């Protein structure tokens, strides 16, 4: 493909209400450096126009690694009996939220495995306490729950919710999540949107059995969902999972997906994920920021627990003191001519945008 052909196809993808699968697949197949340069430059231009140069920070608290699910790629899945399981107390979560506030970060992300025994009222109280004591934005990422739970947490003040589709290909989803339901996941996303959450989804790149076509389907799913936030992570194999011997994701493919996600979503918040920072032992988050990403997620989980939230091995920033994160991330942003913004960083999709829609 020539550079001018890449540009023409990208223009078509950018302008379309729903990009053609063939166009997205064609872009996902490019490999020549000059053609990748056109894609990455296009995405960076869209990022600059729609979200600006600011890099937003979200402080994450991984408050429990207990999980009932079977996700075949994930080190927390219930079959991993070697993992030490933990759940933070309300007091530990509040003390950690205080550290996040002190660091100047205005969003707390409460993330956990999917616990059967997670008491909805307990989490509601934690949300109320954080809102009352610290007045910060609260993002939840605790998986599939009943609509009543989502509603109760929203009433308590939760602002945002992250629930990745992981793959939008229903057959592949079923293969990788034995006993789980793709339809239920879509239903949960619909509930979250209807309840007024700023809603995030996303995928994993490099999953066993994933094709260029299914990745192109993910790009279309992101377009259709009009999500407020979208996270693109590379697959990293975990030794205690069924996918232990599978290769890790290709970095370039992950960057291509990040770039296309920016181009179709325009003003969604897109993190340079910790997984991109951990892939192959190198911190490639600056490269993700340079091809469309605009968010970083420093990890504030208290040190004794952090190593047990082992979704994949060799996760970045497991031993660092989180109080050093803002300085470190400011430097990272500066290396590519960007700056950290300590605002709340709410969704940019709230005014004058088409509502979310899902086909399933």
Residue 235's binding partner among ligand FES, ligand SAM, none (Cβ under 5 to 8 angstroms by kind) is ligand SAM
According to CB under 6 A, which one of 111, 167, 201, 254 is a site residue for ligand SAM? 111
Cβ proximity to ligand FES, 77 vs 294, nearer residue: 77
According to CB under 6 A, which one of 6, 51, 55, 67 is a site residue for ligand FES? 67
Cα separation, 174 vs 286, in Å, equals: 33
Cβ proximity to ligand FES, 21 vs 66, nearer residue: 66
Question: Least distance to ligand SAM from the beta carbon of 113, Å?
Answer: 5
Six token digits for residue 234: 């590379």
By CB under 6 A, the residues from 96 to 135 that bind ligand FES are 113-114
Cα separation, 175 vs 71, in Å, equals: 9
Task: Tell whether residue 199 is a contact of ligand FES (CB under 6 A).
Answer: no
Six token digits for residue 23: 């166009």
By CB under 6 A, the residues from 314 to 333 that bind ligand SAM are none
SS3 content of the chain, % helix, strand, coil (to 5): 45, 15, 45
Cβ proximity to ligand SAM, 233 vs 347, nearer residue: 233
For residue 127, which of 103, 162, 160 has the smallest C-alpha distance? 160
For residue 59, which of 287, 264, 354, 342 has the smallest C-alpha distance? 342
| In contact, 270 and 306? CB cutoff 8 Å | no
Give the distance, in angstroms, between the CA of residue 331 and the centroid of all CA atoms in the same chain.
Answer: 22
By CB under 6 A, the residues from 331 to 350 that bind ligand SAM are none
For residue 131, which of 123, 143, 141 has the smallest C-alpha distance? 123
Interface with ligand SAM (CB under 6 A):
73-74, 76, 111, 113-114, 141-143, 163-164, 166, 204, 233, 235-236, 238, 275, 311-312
Interface with ligand FES (CB under 6 A):
67, 69, 71, 74, 76-77, 113-114
């Amino acid at each position: 493909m020539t550079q001018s052909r890449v540009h023409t196809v990208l223009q078509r993808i950018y302008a379309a209400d729903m990009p053609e699968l063939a166009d997205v697949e064609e872009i996902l197949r490019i490999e020549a450096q000059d053609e990748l340069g056109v894609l990455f430059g296009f995405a960076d231009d869209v990022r600059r126009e729609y979200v600006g140069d600011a890099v937003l920070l979200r402080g994450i608290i991984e408050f429990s690694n207990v999980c009932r699910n079977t996700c075949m790629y994930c080190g927390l899945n219930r079959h991993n009996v070697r993992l030490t399981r933990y759940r933070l107390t309300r007091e530990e979560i509040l003390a950690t939220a205080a550290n996040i506030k002190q660091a100047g970060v205005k969003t707390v992300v409460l993330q956990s495995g999917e616990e059967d025994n997670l008491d909805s009222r307990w989490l509601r109280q934690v949300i109320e306490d954080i809102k009352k004591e610290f007045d910060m934005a609260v993002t939840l990422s605790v998986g599939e729950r009943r609509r009543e739970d989502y509603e109760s947490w929203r009433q308590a003040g939760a602002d945002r919710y992250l629930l990745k589709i992981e793959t939008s290909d229903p057959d592949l989803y079923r293969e990788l999540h034995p006993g789980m339901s793709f339809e239920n996941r879509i239903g949960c996303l619909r509930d979250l949107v209807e309840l007024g959450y700023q809603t995030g989804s996303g995928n994993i790149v490099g999953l066993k059995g994933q094709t260029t076509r299914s990745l192109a389907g993910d790009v279309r799913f992101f377009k259709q969902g009009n999500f407020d936030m979208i996270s693109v992570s590379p697959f990293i194999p975990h030794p205690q999972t069924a996918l232990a011997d599978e290769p890790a994701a290709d970095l370039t493919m992950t960057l291509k997906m990040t770039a296309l996600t920016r181009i179709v979503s325009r003003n969604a918040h897109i993190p340079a994920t910790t997984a991109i920072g951990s892939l192959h032992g190198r911190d490639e988050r600056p490269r993700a920021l340079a091809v469309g990403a605009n968010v970083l997620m420093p990890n504030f989980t208290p040190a004794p627990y952090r190593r047990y939230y082992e979704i994949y091995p060799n996760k970045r920033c497991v031993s660092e003191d989180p109080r050093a994160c803002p300085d470190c991330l400011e430097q990272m942003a500066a290396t590519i001519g960007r700056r950290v913004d300590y605002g709340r960083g709410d969704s940019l999709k709230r005014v004058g945008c088409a509502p979310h829609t899902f086909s399933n």
